[in-house]
């Protein structure tokens, strides 16, 4: 079966599952969609991402590319931390930031810390031949009063004593939302960077901080903003308007769109992604548009 026919057939399957499953619990939906996601990734998507990364690095061997926004089953993702790390490594991503939700009453800090600990343990026990693991960073996506804000911490926070610092200062988010200005200030004081995720995307609850609010209140407080999101299907110039670091990411919950939109930086100029974000010296890059045919049904199915 050629690639076009394969995509057409897979789209039909996905639309059928979507139509029949809109009222099902998210956990059931995830299990239904997994076979289609894995089939699509293995048959065409992964090779395209790998080839595109090789092409980018041919022009700039020091370029570092990676994923800055995705979720595992420690919050509302459908795959394990190990699954995400292995796929990232197989794609050739240089770094991976898993951003479990920290949401009052729904997703607790304990689960974020469990995810971070799992990442550290997987790196320490990595045994996959010549396949190099992606660099990982402690992180989570915080629900503030105005919307979601990603916090990305230096690798030093993988240490148990530093995780205790996170627990001390962020446990309050288990119970109530805090204004985004105070949240961003706390993140900065801890030596981490903050990213406004999916700005202007609306839900019935605080979700995407409005770009107007960012311009008026958050410039100088937050460090980056998502200009490009595969999961939400937009491409904007928020960073040019605010002077913040430009971020590209997937907001992947299914381990399928991971790596389709990435953030890149020059590894000859910055030691890691945190330094690059802090210097507003990043690029948002779309590696493939092959998923456009699947974007609408996937979004309807999972309300990502």
Contacts 24+ apart (CB under 8 A), 86-91: 86/128, 87/41, 87/46, 87/255, 87/258, 87/259, 88/134, 88/258, 88/259, 89/128, 89/131, 89/132, 89/133, 89/134, 90/46, 90/131, 91/46, 91/49, 91/50, 91/53, 91/258, 91/259
Confidence of residue 21 (pLDDT cuts 50, 70, 90): very low
- Tokens 């999916």: give the residue: 198
Flag whether 45 is in a domain: no
- Cβ-based neighbours of 149, under 8 Å, separated by 6 or more: 141, 142, 180, 183, 184, 187, 194, 195, 196, 197, 209, 222
Measured CA angle at 134 (ends 66, 290), to 5 deg: 40
Asked whether residue 11 carries a pLDDT value surpassing 60, the answer given is no
Cα–Cα distance, 275 to 277 (Å, whole number): 6
Q: What DSSP string describes 7-33?
A: HHHHHHHHHHHHHHHTTS-HHHHHHHH
Confidence of residue 169 (pLDDT cuts 50, 70, 90): very high
Domain housing 78: 62-290
Flag whether 80 is in a domain: yes
Cα–Cα distance, 240 to 243 (Å, whole number): 6
Give the residue ranges of DSSP H helices in the chain: 3-21, 26-40, 46-59, 81-91, 109-124, 160-170, 180-189, 211-213, 238-242, 273-278, 292-302
Flag whether 241 is in a domain: yes
pLDDT for 302 equals: 46
pLDDT for 113 equals: 98
Cα–Cα distance, 97 to 101 (Å, whole number): 13
Q: What is the 3-state secondary structure (H, E, C) of 175-224?
A: CCCCCHHHHHHHHHHCCCEEEECCCCCCCCCCCCCCHHHHHHHHECCECE
Asked whether residue 14 carries a pLDDT value surpassing 80, the answer given is no
Confidence of residue 293 (pLDDT cuts 50, 70, 90): low
Quote the pTM value. 0.88
Asked whether residue 297 carries a pLDDT value surpassing 60, the answer given is no
Asked whether residue 284 carries a pLDDT value surpassing 90, the answer given is yes
Asked whether residue 172 carries a pLDDT value surpassing 80, the answer given is yes
CATH of the domain at 118: 3.20.20.140
**Strand locations in 121-172, DSSP E?**
135-136, 139-143, 148-152
Flag whether 295 is in a domain: no
Asked if residues 304 and 232 have their Cβ atoms less than 8 Å apart, the reply is: yes
- Rounded (10°) CA dihedral 270, 274, 189, 182: 140
End-to-end CA distance of the chain: 31
Per residue in 234-261, pLDDT (tens digit) is 999 999 999 999 999 999 998 989 999 9
Flag whether 70 is in a domain: yes
Flag whether 111 is in a domain: yes
pLDDT for 289 equals: 83
Flag whether 1 is in a domain: no
Mean pLDDT over 76-87 rounds to 95
Q: Which of 2-6, 17-21, 82-86 has the lowest mean pLDDT?
A: 17-21
Asked whether residue 66 carries a pLDDT value surpassing 80, the answer given is yes
Cα–Cα distance, 234 to 80 (Å, whole number): 27
pLDDT for 37 equals: 63
- Per the structure, the count of domains in the chain is 1
From the CA atom positions of the chain, what is the Rg in Å?
Answer: 18
Per residue in 31-55, pLDDT (tens digit) is 656 666 666 666 678 999 999 999 9
Flag whether 22 is in a domain: no
Confidence of residue 290 (pLDDT cuts 50, 70, 90): confident
Q: Which of 45-49, 154-158, 209-213 has the lowest mean pLDDT?
A: 45-49
Cα–Cα distance, 50 to 200 (Å, whole number): 31
Q: Mean pLDDT score of the chain, rounded to an integer?
A: 88
């Amino acid at each position: 079966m050629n690639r076009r026919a394969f995509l057409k057939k897979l789209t039909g399957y996905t639309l059928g599952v979507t139509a029949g499953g809109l009222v099902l619990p998210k956990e059931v939906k995830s299990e239904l969609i997994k076979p289609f996601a894995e089939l699509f990734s293995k048959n065409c998507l992964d090779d395209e991402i790998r080839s595109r990364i090789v092409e980018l690095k041919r022009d700039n061997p020091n370029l570092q590319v990676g994923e800055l926004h995705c979720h595992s089953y420690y919050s509302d993702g459908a795959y394990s931390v190990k699954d995400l790390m292995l796929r990232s490594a197989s794609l050739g991503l240089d770094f991976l930031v898993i951003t479990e939700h920290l949401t009052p009453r729904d997703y607790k800090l304990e689960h974020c810390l469990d995810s971070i600990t799992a990442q550290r343990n997987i790196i320490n026990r990595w045994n996959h031949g010549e396949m190099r693991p992606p660099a990982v960073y402690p992180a989570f996506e915080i629900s503030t009063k105005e919307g979601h804000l990603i916090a990305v911490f230096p690798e030093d926070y993988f240490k148990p004593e530093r995780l205790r610092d996170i627990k001390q200062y962020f446990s309050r988010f288990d119970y109530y939302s805090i204004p985004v200005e105070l949240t961003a200030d706390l993140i900065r004081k801890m030596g981490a960077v903050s990213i406004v995720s999916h700005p202007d995307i609306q839900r019935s609850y605080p979700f995407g901080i409005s770009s107007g609010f960012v311009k008026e209140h958050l410039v100088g407080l937050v460090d980056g903003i998502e200009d490009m999101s595969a999961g939400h299907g937009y491409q904007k110039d928020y960073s040019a308007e605010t002077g913040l670091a430009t971020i590209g990411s997937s907001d992947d919950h299914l381990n399928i769109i991971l790596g389709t939109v990435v953030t890149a930086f020059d590894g000859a100029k910055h030691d890691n992604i945190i330094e690059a974000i802090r210097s507003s010296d990043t690029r948002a890059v779309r590696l493939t548009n092959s998923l456009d045919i699947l974007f609408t049904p996937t979004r309807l199915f999972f309300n990502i």
